[in-house]
Amino acid sequence: MNDRAVSRVSRFQDFGSRSVEGILFVLVALAICLSSKAALAKAPPETFADLAERLSPAVVNISTSQTIKRQDRDSVPLPEFPPGSPFEDLFRDFFDRNGGGRQPRRVTSLGSGFVIEPNGIIVTNNHVIEEADKITVNFVDGTTLPAEILGRDPKTDIAVLKVKSDKPLAHVQFGDADDARVGDWVLAIGNPFGLGGSLSAGIISARNRDISAGPYDDFIQTDAAINRGNSGGPLFNTAGQVIGVNTAIISPSGGSIGIGFAVPSSLVVPVVAQLKEFGETRRGWLGVRIQTVTEEIAESLSLTKTHGALVAGVTEGGPAAKAGLKQGDVIVKFDGRLVEEMRNLPRMVAETEIGKLVPVEVIRDGKKIGKQVRIERLEESETVASAAVDNDSPVEGEEERESLGLTLSMITPQLRDTFNIDDNIEGVLVTNVDPDSAAAEKQIRPGDVIVEIGQEEVFRPDDVVNVVRRVTREDKKSILLGLNRRGDFRFVAVRIDKS
């Protein structure tokens, strides 16, 4: 081999050596990076014994009892007797001889709770202590103390109790449920089936669950065993912080099948603070009725995505009305926060300080508009829903037209009486619905009044037909109807059949 060849081989070997060193360096760096990320992940603990020993003294059993009063004989329905039958008096005599049918009796129940302050403040579920005449709190050391109710909130199923103790009580602290992730380990400690001090472990199975339990549903779902008697008990993270209050389970048998729900601490903490201070909740009020923005509604309103809350009604004289919000607006931002889903808005409003001036962003006629709304206090009263019209028979009216599978008519005095339509409701009456139409799929029915269509007010059947024709030419797949059904207004997006 000549000198040039030796020199060339030497340079090749030197290059190869440096290449190998470089590859090794990259591999080592990658390994370090991966090991660092692995270190940041929460490894499954070897045992929960230390946590159980530290946390259990702050978890309590709650025993309640109430008296079911004797039933008055006059309130008991009698069997069917012929008029003047002597059996009627015989039945009443038998009723009285047997103590009125039902003697006063005591009913007891068991639940769980946890101490959050050493001076005896305890959190539990409202349904654990609701209607109780007597509440007793049992501690793991055998101490038993009577409790009084400081306040309760049926809408979130949270209650706050107070006991008097001659010594500071073991207590736990709330953590931030918003930091919890699906897959994180959690612990439930409580009183299942009356077996006090029972611990179960699992993971967070899902977040932000809506189980139709109330207006502010935002549950943590867990597979940690939760059974009857666990209600009101704490759901802990592995740092020993309370991130939820165990409230409900899904189970055909009444026992745990691995689907339990806890109210997140982010919702519990402000409620507890208000119940401690005022004995009641003081929530913000916007004064709107809202609907979910479905894909069809979004398309009919030319929205790029299904977000926000569609305003189906504005309360006269309420905060939204004073600020200029209108029926048909889509609220996409509230106090600087995005309204990703309709169900997010009630909670945002409820948590807002009463009297605060809040910026609200809405989409109206395809444009973003900013409003300033001063939040007022929500009066805790129930709203009775309007009953649906069950008359499905078609009724002839003047100037009838067909569109969207609907037979449309002017509202005549006769039709107003037939369908029980209030005098102050104006629009176009639906007198018949094609059962095979998209309108029937959306449960539009005879007696519904179309107040607006495509965000335009309508008064005659021709108004509806003309708007549908125009929207069809614009190549939209659906159109938004504003319907009034016996005083209850709602928006419905109906698919346009172009065949």
- The residues that are catalytic are 127, 157, 231
Quote the CA–CA distance of 395 and 3 in Å, as a whole number.
Answer: 109
Q: What is the maximum alpha-carbon separation in the chain?
A: 136
Quote the CA–CA distance of 281 and 118 in Å, as a whole number.
Answer: 23
At 88, which helix (H) or strand (E)?
Answer: helix 86-97
Quote the CA–CA distance of 479 and 471 in Å, as a whole number.
Answer: 7
Closest CA to 230 of 254, 208, 253: 254
Quote the CA–CA distance of 372 and 218 in Å, as a whole number.
Answer: 27
Closest CA to 114 of 130, 131, 138, 134: 138
Instruction: With beta carbons less than 8 A apart as the criterion, state whether 404 and 439 touch.
Output: yes
Burial 430-443 (b: 16+ CB within 10 A, else e): bbbbeeebbbeebe
| Cα 209-214-216 angle, rounded to 5 deg | 65
Instruction: With beta carbons less than 8 A apart as the criterion, state whether 213 and 281 touch.
Output: no
Residues recorded for the chain: 499
- Contacts for 5 with CB less than 8 Å, ≥ 6 apart: none
Q: Position of tokens 């109710």?
A: 149
List, as one string, the DSSP characters of 197-224: SEEEEEEEEEEEE--SSSTT--EEEE-S
